Amino acid sequence: MELEALRDSMKSVLKHPRYLHSIGVEEVACDLAIIYGCDAEKASIAGILHDCAKNLSDAELLQCCERYQLKVTEIEATCPFLLHGKVGAVFAEKLYGIEDQEILSSIIYHTTGRPNMSLLEKIIFTADYIEPYRKPLPRIDEIRALAYSKLDQAVIMILENTLCYLEQSTVDIDTLTVDTYEYYKSALMT
């Protein structure tokens, strides 16, 4: 499916603010891909599709996981909204014909990250956080500046902000986010 058709499809299935967010992620992902020598078309596709399952309710996300036999962790069972990446990757493949595993993986991990992410995964993870339509976040200007020159450091700052936010809220923290933070913090020190 061509990029324009993917945009049109997302415009029809996502609420307007979520669609604007997805357009913003697509644009930032494309820019970062050009800067870091990643495939810009793959980044654009992953960016526009990363939240393609975000419009589903918790119950619908769990039903999709059962239908497609996706593993649901304990934390995902209690916080089903975390499943929109996994379900989104299935939708990208089954509904939009995306077969590229790197694109699918970047959709799966765009919220939590994972240790040793590919360049495309880091780009989508970062673009999701810094896109221009996102509400103001702590240190966002610093993170945006870093993203265009030191991607791994931007990833670490995003993870720090995310963990700090989650520790202050009532939401459980996905251990994958903690593992990702520890991995990149350790990698940056060596």
pTM: 0.96
Instruction: Extract the residue ranges of the chain whose pLDDT is less than 50.
Output: none
- Measured CA to CA, the distance from residue 104 to residue 24 in angstroms comes to 19
- Measured CA to CA, the distance from residue 172 to residue 68 in angstroms comes to 25
pLDDT tens per residue, range 133-184: 998 999 999 999 999 999 999 999 999 999 999 999 888 889 999 999 999 9
- Measured CA to CA, the distance from residue 81 to residue 79 in angstroms comes to 6
- Measured CA to CA, the distance from residue 134 to residue 35 in angstroms comes to 22
CB atoms within 10 A of CB 80: 21
Is 88 in a helix, a strand, or coil?
helix
Q: CATH classification of 3-137 is 1.10.3210.10, yes or no?
A: yes
Return the pLDDT at 189: 79
Within the chain, what is the greatest distance between any pair of CA atoms?
46
Domain range annotation of the chain: 3-137
Return the pLDDT at 188: 79
